[in-house]
Amino acid sequence: MEKPHFYSLPKLSYGYKDLEPYISQEQLQIHHEKHHQAYVTGANAIFERMDKARAEGVDLDEKAILKELSFHIGGHLLHTLFWGNLASAGKASTGPSGILATAIDKEFGSFERFKKEFTQAAVSVEGSGWAALSFCRLTNRPLIMQIEKHNNGIYPTFNILMVLDLWEHAYYLDYKNLRAKFVEAFWNIVNWEEVRKRFEQLLR
């Protein structure tokens, strides 16, 4: 029988210092190695509990364990997307290009309007959560999502093109409680090339 698969912490495509001055080395390293790793470890531990219970014929508290699993998987997948849509200041571009730019202009009227709405969504996330740019295949519209924690408020089946982590662990060392300053800094390190590639891949 094939050995069960588990999640693993993805490697970053840049160094821990490469997002400075917008995200410090200490902030990024702790976020990646400690917080993201915790979601990977948490999900894998649940897999092991489920495997053991099934092997032994023991009942599980399905409601509790699936809620916990959803939380950890959401944290892992959203962080993986987040690292991918970041780039060093020298490699980040000022905005989207190609068909992604066209889609944003069509939906929001302009990139500046999109940026304003996304910023407002990010700043106003209640408690811990995320802001995301997603795409609805049924209406062909790019839409903004506010995600609470890692798994509440998600539009089912919508492809996520770009995410911004608004948990305090993402910015507190650098910005303390000034979330708006962190959101402002985020726009300087968006990997728009990666966001565009995600958009083009889902249209194929």
Does 10 map to a domain?
A: no
Does 16 map to a domain?
A: no
The residue with tokens 């407002």 is: 120
Does 8 map to a domain?
A: no
Does 165 map to a domain?
A: yes
Q: What is the pTM of this model?
A: 0.95
Name the residue range of residue 108's domain: 24-204
Does 9 map to a domain?
A: no
Question: Given a cut of 70, is residue 62 above it in pLDDT?
Answer: yes
For residue 34, count other CB atoms closer than 10 A to its CB: 10
Cβ proximity of 136 and 159 under 8 Å: no
What is the tally of structural domains in the chain?
Answer: 1
Cβ proximity of 106 and 181 under 8 Å: no
| CA nearest neighbour of 104 among 202, 201, 192 | 192
Does 148 map to a domain?
A: yes
Does 6 map to a domain?
A: no
Look up residue 17 and give its amino acid. K
Per-residue confidence (pLDDT) for residue 93, from 0 to 100: 83
The residue with tokens 């996330």 is: 125
Q: Each residue of 140-196: pLDDT tens digit? A: 999 999 999 999 999 999 999 999 999 999 999 999 999 999 999 999 999 999 999
- CA geometry: angle 136, 139, 140, nearest 5 deg: 65
| CA nearest neighbour of 195 among 109, 124, 133 | 133
Using CA atoms, how far residue 198 sits from 10, 48, 162, 191, in Å, is 18, 32, 9, 11
Does 128 map to a domain?
A: yes
CATH number of 102's domain: 3.55.40.20
Q: Name 64's Cβ contacts closer than 8 Å, sequence gap at least 6.
A: none
Percent of the chain residues past pLDDT 70, beyond the cut? 98
